[in-house]
């Protein structure tokens, strides 16, 4: 029974490490570069443990067998967690107020990023840098080269973007439908912002993706810095951990 348990644990660890290697060599997540920084060293640690454990599995000393069993149990558990966080979901936090009232500053969230395909209405995580998004104020980066925004995806490539004057204000429309926040507010665009956004359109249609904050009154989003590239959309928010509750489909 103990021998079967040991083989079972070795098989599980082998499968997990194999999946980890396959996912690392595949384009299953846009967080690959970030995850490799901390996950690859751990991968090699578990790989070494795997081979050492195989060497010791034939030992008859009960103490060695018991230690080996516990080491394998812990390795299987931690490697599985590593696989999930590296390629499937990842916890993060919100450091902005642009998604209020849906998400607030300080909320803890779960991001799904395995083979993610952007869909309209998703709450997405966008990776931005100074070179690709020069209109984002330098102070926003806080001396960092790359930061992450949490926004709602409202426009897809090919969508028509237009502007209508209502009560003296320019209102954003996508596919001839007024864009409104979850609170029911319209998105107001200045004349300068309209002229800038029109330079990013192809015959009035989006070339890339358009993201907005749910807080239409105070949000740094595509109205300010323009469309976002697909490769910069890292994944979608699917759950709020803290305060607990809130599933986002």
Which residues, listed in sequence order, are joined to residue 186 by a DSSP beta bridge? 180
Question: Residue 34's pLDDT is what?
Answer: 63
d(CA 127, CA 136): 12
| CATH, range 91-242 | 2.10.109.10
Strand duo 108-112 + 89-93: pairing: antiparallel
Question: Residue 8's pLDDT is what?
Answer: 85
∠ CA 99-95-224 to the nearest 5 degrees?
A: 55
Show the tokens assigned to 152: 């709602």
> What string of DSSP letters covers 142-197?
TT-SEEEEEEEEEE-TT-BEEEEEETTEEEEEETTEE-B-TTS-B-EE-HHHHHHH
Q: How many CA atoms lie within 13 A of 155 on its CB side?
A: 35
Pair 154, 173: CB distance under 8 Å = no
First to last CA, the chain: 44
Question: Residue 56's pLDDT is what?
Answer: 78
pLDDT tens figures, 158-172: 999 999 999 999 999
Question: Residue 63's pLDDT is what?
Answer: 82
Which residues, listed in sequence order, are joined to residue 206 by a DSSP beta bridge? 201
Q: Which residues of the chain have pLDDT under 50?
A: 1
**What ranges do the domains of the chain cover?**
2-87, 91-242
């Amino acid at each position: 029974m103990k021998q079967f348990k040991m083989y079972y644990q070795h098989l599980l660890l082998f499968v997990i490490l194999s999946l980890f290697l396959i996912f690392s060599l595949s384009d299953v997540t846009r967080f690959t570069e970030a995850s490799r920084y901390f996950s690859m060293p751990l991968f090699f640690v578990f790989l070494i443990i795997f081979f050492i454990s195989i060497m010791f599995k034939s030992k008859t000393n009960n103490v060695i067998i018991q230690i080996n069993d516990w080491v394998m149990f812990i390795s299987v558990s931690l490697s599985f967690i590593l696989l999930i966080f590296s390629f499937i979901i990842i916890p993060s936090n919100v450091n902005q107020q642009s998604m209020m009232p849906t998400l607030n500053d300080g909320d803890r969230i779960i991001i799904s990023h395995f083979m993610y395909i952007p869909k309209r209405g998703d709450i997405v995580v966008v990776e931005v840098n100074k070179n690709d998004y020069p209109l984002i104020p330098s102070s926003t980066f806080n001396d960092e080269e790359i930061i992450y925004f949490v926004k709602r995806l409202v426009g897809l490539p090919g969508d028509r973007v237009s502007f209508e004057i209502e009560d003296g204000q320019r209102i954003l429309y996508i596919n001839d439908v007024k864009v409104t926040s979850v609170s029911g507010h319209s998105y107001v665009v200045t004349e300068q912002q309209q002229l800038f956004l029109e330079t990013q359109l192809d015959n009035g249609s989006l070339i890339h993706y358009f993201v907005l904050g749910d807080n239409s009154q105070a949000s740094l989003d595509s109205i300010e810095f323009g469309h976002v590239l697909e490769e910069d959309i890292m994944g979608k928010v699917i759950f709020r951990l803290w305060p607990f509750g809130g599933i986002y489909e």
